[in-house]
Structure 1
Amino acid sequence: MPYIDEALLDDLDELQRKDSQDTLRALASAGAQVREGLTLAHEAGIDRLATMDRPRSVLVAAIGGSAIVAEVLELLAEPGSPVPVQARRNLPLPGWVGPLDLVVAVSLSGRAPGPLAVAAEAARRGAMLLTVGADDSPLAEVCRRARGVHVGVGRGRTSSRTALWTMLTPVLLGADGLGLLDAPVQMLEAVADRLDRKAEEMRPSSESFVNPAKLLAVQLAETVPVVLGDGPLGGVAAARASSMLARTARIPATFGELPDAASGIVACFDGPYTSLGGRRQGTYDDSRIRLGDIDTSSWEPHHFAEPDGELMERATGPDQGGGRDGGRDIFADPYLDGPSPPPLGLLLLRDAPLEPPTRESVEAEALTDAVLATAREAGVRVLEVQAEAGAPIVRLADHVATLDFTATYLAIGLGLDPSVSPHVADLRDRTR
């Protein structure tokens, strides 16, 4: 089982020494990134988009740490956008893309092969372009030749994992101007305020027994993590969490979104990482899995509304089946029986209940509660992060801030540099 040094998380000198590229400082600048992004977008002429004819469709090209930009745009545009919004990581550019369409390409360096190739092909076909990346980059040059709108990323942005809001803010502002989603300047300023507050709560000088991100990092270190979102917004946050845990903390974590992922996640509760260990009596009919008294076979994703809520971290106590022993046999002898595997840890990202509740939101809440009850009975360690009230993008910012800080503290607590991976460097050398 990985060992995390809790004392290290409260040692400011050690935190700074392990964090060679100031990842924590970069994450704390998220609110400032939003405000800078607004300024850079206006200086670049983002308002031009509002004067153009509404595009027939929007295609967003982003990869790696920038991929969440496309996922967020899809998430926020889906409920009310009058035109389809689609993500694309690389060529081929769909054959239907032409002069009536808008292509958004995002790359912090402006040199990522996928977005750059998509932007170049879109420009060749005469499509409208909005690009975000370094000013002195091939991506910026492609956009300017096509007479599109290019927004720079300012100075000191070295990693797409820590510069999310620098890249996302101009895209949201442009989409708002086109009427694809609701993200006016006032709402983005509210995002910046929320990110500032989260940075204050999770600052390095905040001790581990009160710092939500440090607490969550310590709890996740002792588990095989599974991240589950209770709806579309939580699903995007879960994907981000999985990416950050893998790339920053070097912890592989599967992820899913309710209701679709219910059966796949619950099936893991019978596996080797829970107290059941695959020895539970009886069988399941996979075509009709029942969680308590709730039949999920006929439920569809669009049945579930996105509630507003408040983001607070809490973990179940030992008496709730999610305690520190994870439901394992406390009498097991590690010398005779071999070391016990780490327990499964279910990290649930949930919104607060919708007010007033609807039939769909009640059903969604019931499914979430049923999954948690099943997890606790199986000895899974359950951790919950609940979103604070606000617009969808504000709530998403809440989730993302907590999870980004958590992954970074987890890396440092395990003795790793959150920004430097020798194996990633080796891979780059071998593929040049």
Structure 2
Amino acid sequence: MPQIDERLLDDGEEIRRLDSRDYLRALATAGAQVRESVTLADEAGLSRLEREDRPRAVLVCALGGSAVVGDVLAVLAEAHGPVPVTHRATGPLPAWVGPLDLVVAVSLSGRAPGPVMLAAEAARRGAQLVTVGAAESPLAEVTLRARGVHVPVPAGVVASRTSTWAMLTPVLRACASVGVVDLEPPVVARLADVLDAQAEACRPSSESFVNPAKVAAAQLVETVPLVLGDGPLMGAAARRAASALARTARIPAMPGALPDNASQVVATFGGPYTAAAGRGVGSVGHGVRGVGGVGGGGRDIFADPFLDAPETPPLGLLVLREQGPGVPPGQGVLADTVLVEAREAGVRVHEVTSEQDHPVLRLAEVMALTDYLAAYAALGLGLDPSTNPHVANLRAADRP
């Protein structure tokens, strides 16, 4: 059973040693990424989209760490208007894509074969084209030939896991310009401030008992985690969090969203991971708003690891919630029921709730926290959040 070393999380020197490529520092630049991306988008001529009609549909072409762009855009567009948003990682380009549609291709390096090929085919069919990626890349060349808009990513961003807002900000602004999502310029400015505030709260020098990301990491690392989002927006955040836990902390996590996955999640409360956890109920923890809980269980401090059977990790549940304008009044009722069931079953529960007054701000606040959570989970296990030899081997094998 994995065990987190909480002393590592407050040891600045050890964190710097483990974090070989300044992963935490890169996460802290999220607010700066938003501001610089706004400038780069303006310089690229993104404002000319304001003269265009609203597209019939939007196709987002992205893969790997960039795929979160399509997931987030689809949720925000569904809540705002009648324009459908779909996502593709690679070809073929759907047959319906044509001159009435907007194609958005995202690749941090500008070299991912799938997005580059899809963008080229979209340009051939006369679709409106917006791309985000490295300057002077194959993706930028495709867009230039098609007379589309290519927004370069800020200098210095090197990993999609820590550059979400460098990729997402231009896409949201482009789609806001053509009426696909609701995102006024003042909200973009506040978005950068929200990300800065979360970086301050989750900074490495903030001690474990007050740092919300460290608290969540300490509670969830020694569990089999489920990540549950309350509603479509937090469902997107849950999928992002599960991906971050797997990719950064090497912890497999199952994501879900309410109401669709309520039965699927609650069914696991009667399984072996809760039977081992016991039946006690506790009430400590922190969220964005300072809400959380641990339901029973925990390690048996008297267990002998040599004489007793190996201990089964308990089930953990990370619940992502939102409150604010646009949230349906009854949305939290089902989540409350799930939490009651979880605590009674002995599941270790941690809640994260954002009360920002715009969906994009709520999403940013929660996603930033879970990104830090995954980083601290890795560091608490003595792992480097920046690198993974197995992923490196996979990429090497995939090269021609």
Shared fold (TM-score, shorter chain, > 0.5): yes
Within the candidate set 341, 344, 355, 2:312 is matched to: 341
Matching residue within 361, 369, 372 for 1:405: 372
Does 2:329 match 1:361?
Answer: yes
Alpha-carbon separation, structure 1, partners of 2:326 and 2:245: 35
For residue 309 of structure 2, what is the amino acid of its counterpart? G
- Which structure 2 residues correspond to residues 241-252 of structure 1 after superposition, within 5 A? 241-252=241-252
2:349 aligns with one of 382, 391, 394: 382
- Distance (Å, rounded) in 1 between the aligned partners of 2:386 and 2:307: 40
Contact kept, 8 Å, 2:226 with 2:316, in 1: the verdict is yes
Quote the Cα distance in structure 2 between the aligned partners of 1:165 and 1:381: 31
Aligned 8 A contact 2:249 2:383 in 1? yes
Q: What CA distance in whole angstroms lies between the structure 2 residues aligned with 1:13 and 1:330?
A: 30
Q: Would the alpha carbon gap of residues 139 and 77 (structure 1) be closer, same or farther in structure 2, given more than 3 Å must change?
A: same
Change (3 A) 1:149 1:207: same
Q: Distance in 1 between matches of 2:211 and 2:269?
A: 29
- d(CA) in 2 for partners of 1:355 and 1:174? 23
The residue that corresponds to 1:116 in the other structure is: 116
For normalisation by structure 1, the TM-score amounts to 0.87
Residues 349-386 of structure 1: per-residue CA shift (max 9 Å, x gap): 0113x5799xx632x32211111111111111111001
8 A Cα contact 2:56 2:100, kept in partner: yes
CA distance in 2, matches of 1:330, 1:425: 38
Shift of 1:45: 0.2
How far apart in 1 are the matches of 2:212 and 2:274? 25
User: In the alignment, which residue of structure 1 is the partner of 2:99?
Assistant: 99
Q: Residue 209 of structure 1: CA displacement?
A: 1.2
1:355 and 1:429, CA in 2 relative to 1: closer, same or farther beyond 3 A?
closer
Contact in 2 for aligned 1:231/1:258 (Cα 8 Å): yes
5 Å-filtered alignment, 1:188-203, equals: 188-203=188-203
**Do the aligned partners of 2:57 and 2:101 also contact (CA within 8 Å) in 1?**
yes
Deviates more, 1:1-10 or 1:139-148: 1-10
Q: Once the two structures are superposed, what CA deviation does each residue of 1:142-176 show, in whole Å capped at 9, x if it has no partner?
A: 00000000000021100001000001111111111
Gaps of 5+ in 2: 278-286
SS of corresponding position for 1:316: coil
Q: Deviations over 1:252-281 (max 9, x none)?
A: 00010001101100111111111279xxxx
1:322-362 Cα distance to aligned partner (Å, 9 max, x none): 14x24x8888775565122110001000113x5799xx632
Alpha-carbon distance in 1 for matches of 2:352, 2:15: 24
In the alignment, residue 155 of structure 1 is paired with which amino acid?
Answer: A
Give the unaligned 5+ runs of structure 1: 278-309
CA distance in 2 between counterparts of 1:163 and 1:332 reads 43
Report if aligned partners of 1:228, 1:346 keep a CA contact under 8 Å in 2.
yes
Q: C-alpha root-mean-square deviation of aligned residues, in Å?
A: 2.0
Letter in 2 for 1:260: D
Change in Cα spacing, 1:355 to 1:124, as seen in structure 2 (3 Å) is: closer
Aligned to 2:321: 350
Q: What residue number does 2:281 align with? A: none
Answer whether contact 1:276 1:378 (CA < 8 A) is retained: no
Q: Give the whole-Å Cα distance in 1 for the aligned partners of 2:325 and 2:127.
A: 42
Partner of 1:311: 288
1:286 aligns with none
